[in-house]
A and B are shown apart, each in its own frame.
Chain A
Amino acid sequence: MAVDATQLPHTTATQVEDVGQIPQWQLMVRRFRKSKLSVGGMYVLIVMYTIMLFSDFLAPYDHNRLDSNYAWGPPSQVKTVNGQLSTFALKQTLDTERLQWLYVVDESHPLPIHFFVQGYEYHFLGIFPSKLHLFGVEDGFQINLLGADKDGKDVLSRLLKGSQISLTLGFVGVVISVIIGSIVGTASGYFGGAIDNMIQRVIELLRSFPDIPLFLSLAAALPQNAPVEVRFFLITMIIAVIGWTGLAREVRGKVMSYRNADYTAASVAAGGSHWHIITRHLIPNSLSHIIVVGTLAIPAAIGSETALSFLGLGILPPAVSWGVMVRDAQTIEAITTYPWMLLPVLVLIITVLSFYLLGDGIRDAVDPYA
């Protein structure tokens, strides 16, 4: 009987053992780690989603709290006064010529920043009622680290609150379309024949609708006065319904190639059921590709939500998303005089870019030769 190569002296057994024991997904993780940009993107996203979870705690104010004393208020200055981190009261004057609010920092009136203060009530993770906030100042004054908008609403609080919708809506929409796409794509690719033919024709039909008008008309048909949760759910569904077709095609292609693989044939020859073959061979092998396609679809979905909200067809005030905030920043005045109004755009760019970097990295790790 011939010798197994690992018994030969020239291959150090421990080294071979090491690599051999590693499941394929771990090898992918190793390859992924080699791409610094993608790992960076992943960390940025982890930080963003963590912040999102604690957004109510981190936000000093309710996102809709108005205070005309701070309309178009600039970002607060923070300095140490008497050993305490403080900001300052503002004096508001009206520039009558240009009809603009002018703010002067009143250095004689420091406002010490207090930590772990009580503020507006919220439900942490949607369950535990709490009033605790990370920081705040004396009642009657306001701290706007990232400035305030035309009604004196705190931009930081709005960004944080908006992340709850912007970061989840696209994500959930893609998850739903991944689920629909995977099921339909697997069925289409595995069973082939008439089923495949029918599904593919339906997908072609759906894809031949022009995207944007379909999107807009669906969004416009949504009830205007529905509660924000319902609206959120419906917009998610719109994104999912439009997004699943491309995914189903990708999955179908993969499933078809794995269905024709020799290991699938061996499974059939041993008497494996459809369910066994799909769950044992087809799905695990397709999964990495599904994740790649899904990851790369999220930024597009986030973009869709932003676009809808920007056009006033998505999330509507009083609810806030980054798209809603971008809508507030659409005047030239905002861009030139109140540049902090553009922060949501910056945050959106960072998020979308991070998702693309992450997706590219996963794709390279999953399929190094593609």
Chain B
Amino acid sequence: MTNQSTTTTTDDVVRVEDLKVNFYTQLGVVRALNGVSFNIPRGKVLGIVGESGCGKSITGMSIMQLVASAGKTEGGKILFNESAGGNQVNILDYERNSPEMRKIRGNNISMIFQEPMSSLNPCYTISDQIEEAIRLHQTNDNVESRKRAIDVLTKVGMPNPDRIADSFPHELSGGMRQRAMIAMALSCTPTLLIADEPTTALDVTTEASILDLMRELQSEIGTSIMFITHNMGVVAQMCDEVAVMYLGRVVERATVDDIFYEPRHPYTIALLQSIPRLGRTKGRLASIEGSVPDPYSRVSGCPFHPRCPVAIKGVCDTILPEETIVDAAKGHTVRCHLYS
């Protein structure tokens, strides 16, 4: 067993409580987040896992207050705690573009995305962009900021940091760009790094080296990471704790070991059964019936009940299950009537 962490500790970098985000579109209201609650323990990697449309990316964007303008936060709290025992602030109290929010963004919380090209400006060199963040939040000295940029590029394993620093994003390969993004995100040693599917667009060998790099940096700098992904393999390799999301809610929250070895929620179990396991599964995979309902519809009761093989008639289709603690010591909670 690699990780034996607990969530009983009160030292969380971020606590999200009952977060609700709705999107108002021409076709109707999309309830992207229906009351999401979870915590990110300091110095840990929390995996947020789920299928498309479960709201995992919106959750990350909400913490940064970067949700597109059609999305309205309609309730809940995002409590951010910069250092252990320090002041707790509710991020949602700040205006989207207020100076406080801008200070948090980039300096305290950074984000990396699936497609590095979309967040790197093609007109500036890599070092220009890293130095911009450094000068915005840390130092005004050009020589110093350049030195730090080279340092951070070295740290992310760039083979030739001086040369890379002066190249433009389009001159780099996908893996290199993702490294540059990570360098940018880490340049101000943030308290929390939100990684939104950072390796999904990469090839498997590059993915492995980026994950390795992130784990290495995490143990070195101690940054907490919120790792958003749909890939159970990446979760197993990368995270300490996991929150499984389905249709805008966290349905199960446990340590990574519990998620894989003692999953409780039927959705988590079904998800794990449906992935081919190396050297193990031949023939049929157990699959989840149907597909994720379209975002405009509202499902009564437990959001998973229409696809759940063990749903209880008259209960699961009418009553929304509450978050239930199944193992207090390890902080294992689940939202399912079978455990209440």
Residues of A that sit less than 8 Å from B by CB: 2-5, 7-12, 34
Looking across the interface, which residue of chain B has its beta carbon closest to that of A31? B26
Task: Give B282-320 as 1s and 0s: 1 = Cβ < 8 Å from A's Cβ atoms.
Answer: 000001011101100101000000110000000001000
Residue in B26, B287, B294 whose CB lies within 8 Å of A11: B294
Nearest CB in chain A: distance from B271 CB, A: 15
Nearest CB in chain B: distance from A32 CB, A: 13
Q: 25 A-B contacts, Cβ less than 8 Å apart?
A: A2-B287, A2-B289, A2-B290, A3-B289, A3-B290, A4-B290, A5-B290, A5-B291, A5-B293, A7-B290, A8-B290, A8-B293, A8-B306, A8-B307, A9-B306, A9-B317, A10-B293, A10-B297, A10-B299, A10-B306, A11-B293, A11-B294, A11-B297, A12-B297, A34-B26
Looking across the interface, which residue of chain A has its beta carbon closest to that of B291? A5
Residue in A2, A4, A8, A10 whose Cβ sees the most chain B Cβ within 10 Å: A10
**Contacting residues, chain A, for B299 (C-beta < 8 A):** 10
**Contacting residues, chain B, for A8 (C-beta < 8 A):** 290, 293, 306-307
CA gap between A11 and B293 in the complex, in Å: 7
CA gap between A2 and B290 in the complex, in Å: 6
Nearest CB in chain B: distance from A4 CB, A: 8
Task: Give B53-79 as 1s and 0s: 1 = Cβ < 8 Å from A's Cβ atoms.
Answer: 000000000000000000000000000
Looking across the interface, which residue of chain B has its beta carbon closest to that of A34? B26
Looking across the interface, which residue of chain B has its beta carbon closest to that of A2? B289
Known: A2-B287, A8-B306. 11 other contacts (CB 8 A): A2-B290, A3-B290, A4-B290, A5-B293, A7-B290, A9-B317, A10-B293, A10-B299, A11-B297, A12-B297, A34-B26
CA gap between A3 and B308 in the complex, in Å: 12
Looking across the interface, which residue of chain B has its beta carbon closest to that of A4? B290
CA gap between A10 and B290 in the complex, in Å: 11
The main secondary structure of chain A at its interface with chain B is loop
Residues of B that sit less than 8 Å from A by CB: 26, 287, 289-291, 293-294, 297, 299, 306-307, 317
The main secondary structure of chain B at its interface with chain A is loop
CA gap between A5 and B317 in the complex, in Å: 17
Nearest CB in chain B: distance from A179 CB, A: 35
Nearest CB in chain B: distance from A69 CB, A: 61
CA gap between A184 and B307 in the complex, in Å: 52
**Contacting residues, chain A, for B297 (C-beta < 8 A):** 10-12
CA gap between A11 and B306 in the complex, in Å: 10
**Contacting residues, chain A, for B289 (C-beta < 8 A):** 2-3
Nearest CB in chain B: distance from A357 CB, A: 20
**Contacting residues, chain A, for B291 (C-beta < 8 A):** 5
Nearest CB in chain B: distance from A72 CB, A: 54
Looking across the interface, which residue of chain A has its beta carbon closest to that of B293? A10
Nearest CB in chain A: distance from B2 CB, A: 35
Looking across the interface, which residue of chain A has its beta carbon closest to that of B299? A10
Nearest CB in chain A: distance from B289 CB, A: 5
**Contacting residues, chain B, for A9 (C-beta < 8 A):** 306, 317
Nearest CB in chain B: distance from A189 CB, A: 27
CA gap between A34 and B291 in the complex, in Å: 31
Nearest CB in chain A: distance from B98 CB, A: 31
**Contacting residues, chain A, for B287 (C-beta < 8 A):** 2
Nearest CB in chain B: distance from A49 CB, A: 31
Nearest CB in chain B: distance from A349 CB, A: 32
CA gap between A5 and B26 in the complex, in Å: 23
Nearest CB in chain A: distance from B274 CB, A: 11
**Contacting residues, chain B, for A4 (C-beta < 8 A):** 290
Residue in B26, B306, B317 whose Cβ sees the most chain A Cβ within 10 Å: B306
**Contacting residues, chain A, for B290 (C-beta < 8 A):** 2-5, 7-8
Nearest CB in chain B: distance from A10 CB, A: 5
Looking across the interface, which residue of chain B has its beta carbon closest to that of A1? B289
**Contacting residues, chain B, for A5 (C-beta < 8 A):** 290-291, 293
User: 10 shortest A-B CB distances, which residue pairs?
Assistant: A10-B299, A8-B306, A3-B289, A3-B290, A5-B291, A10-B293, A8-B290, A10-B306, A5-B290, A2-B289
Nearest CB in chain B: distance from A18 CB, A: 13
CA gap between A5 and B293 in the complex, in Å: 8
CA gap between A10 and B297 in the complex, in Å: 7
Nearest CB in chain B: distance from A5 CB, A: 5
**Contacting residues, chain B, for A11 (C-beta < 8 A):** 293-294, 297
Looking across the interface, which residue of chain A has its beta carbon closest to that of B307? A8
CA gap between A10 and B289 in the complex, in Å: 13
Looking across the interface, which residue of chain A has its beta carbon closest to that of B287? A2
Nearest CB in chain B: distance from A87 CB, A: 52
**Contacting residues, chain B, for A3 (C-beta < 8 A):** 289-290
Nearest CB in chain A: distance from B290 CB, A: 5
Nearest CB in chain A: distance from B156 CB, A: 34
**Contacting residues, chain A, for B294 (C-beta < 8 A):** 11
CA gap between A9 and B306 in the complex, in Å: 7
Nearest CB in chain A: distance from B308 CB, A: 11
CA gap between A159 and B91 in the complex, in Å: 65
Nearest CB in chain B: distance from A278 CB, A: 34
Looking across the interface, which residue of chain A has its beta carbon closest to that of B26? A34
Residue in B290, B294, B297 whose Cβ sees the most chain A Cβ within 10 Å: B290
Nearest CB in chain B: distance from A219 CB, A: 46
Looking across the interface, which residue of chain B has its beta carbon closest to that of A19? B27
CA gap between A103 and B298 in the complex, in Å: 74
CA gap between A7 and B291 in the complex, in Å: 11
**Contacting residues, chain A, for B317 (C-beta < 8 A):** 9
CA gap between A11 and B297 in the complex, in Å: 7
Nearest CB in chain B: distance from A11 CB, A: 6
CA gap between A194 and B317 in the complex, in Å: 63
CA gap between A3 and B26 in the complex, in Å: 29
**Contacting residues, chain A, for B307 (C-beta < 8 A):** 8
Nearest CB in chain B: distance from A249 CB, A: 26
Looking across the interface, which residue of chain B has its beta carbon closest to that of A6? B290
CA gap between A11 and B289 in the complex, in Å: 14
Looking across the interface, which residue of chain B has its beta carbon closest to that of A368? B26
CA gap between A63 and B299 in the complex, in Å: 69
